[in-house]
Amino acid sequence: MRPVIPSLIILIGLTFSLHLYGQEKEPGLAISYLTGDFYVYTTYRSLHGIPIPSNGMYLITDKGAVMFDTPWDTTQFQPLLDSIQFRHHTTVVLCIATHFHDDRTAGLDFLKQKGIKTYSSKQTFDLCKERDQKQAEYFFTKDTAFIIGNHHFLTYYPGEGHTKDNIVIWFDDEKVLYGGCLVKSTENNDLGNTADANISAWTTTIENVINRFPKPKYVIPGHFGWVNNDGLAHTLKLLHESEKKNNH
């Protein structure tokens, strides 16, 4: 396995056009325009008979498309690539997984088979191996700056929360924060899946994100809607409520 130098700035190129892809009548693949060259894609998995949406994101650059996390629904790996190719006349060249759960990593092997470079943190890489989840081909050991064509972004590990390895991705020019499952949607009334969570550390971790990236214009959670940028504050609220409940 090939590690990435911690401070590595990765230079790659990419091509893209814009599009809005409406959600199907039955949950499948939905692609929503966010801002600039950013799109949020959503796939679903049924839990207890209820379809749960899972968000990923992709970015258009002048050298190809960059994906952040993979579809949760394994039937949507190829449809997502096909949709990007059809709508934007480009291919995906790179994908970064933000933690080890399968709603972030399920498609990594599929992407590798397509010749797409896949990355995660070393923590995520090791946890994927330990938990028998799909692994990225490459890993980085510290917060890493990427330059992909005409775009640049930073991976940031703020501490444990939803999982011990969760990272966020920051796009400074556009003030977009891809929070993944560390950040809860304002549609959520609880913290969701906490099987691998560190509840006691999560509040400090969210505060680290807020202090590092104080004024995001867009905050994308791992599940459910992102109609406003209040996901960080809402996550803190849910954590405080959980703490109060556990103290009674």
- 223 annotated active-site: no
Q: Which two tokens stand for residue 177?
A: 């924060």
Out of 62, 126, 188, 193, pick the active-site residue: 193
Out of 151, 162, 223, 234, pick the active-site residue: 162
Out of 88, 99, 151, 223, pick the active-site residue: 99
Q: Are 139 and 119 in contact (CB under 8 A)?
A: yes
Out of 37, 69, 88, 101, pick the active-site residue: 101
Out of 69, 103, 151, 165, pick the active-site residue: 103
Q: Which two tokens stand for residue 43?
A: 């796939």
**CB-count burial class (<10 Å; 0-12, 13-18, 19+) for 62:** middle
Q: Are 237 and 197 in contact (CB under 8 A)?
A: no
The residue with tokens 């693949």 is 29
Q: Are 219 and 177 in contact (CB under 8 A)?
A: yes
If one counts every other C-beta atom within 10 angstroms of the C-beta of residue 90, the result is: 18
Say which residues have a Cβ less than 8 Å from residue 176's Cβ, sequence separation at least 6: 34, 35, 38, 170, 216, 217, 218, 220
- 103 annotated active-site: yes
In what side-by-side order are the strands of the sheet with 145-148? Answer: 10-12, 145-148, 151-156, 168-171, 176-180, 218-221
- 102 annotated active-site: no
Q: Which amino acid, one-letter code, is at 56?
A: G
Q: How far apart are the C-alpha atoms of 85 and 91, rounded to whole Å?
A: 6
- Taking the mean position of all CA atoms in its chain, how far away is CA 36? 18
Catalytic site positions: 99, 101, 103, 162, 193
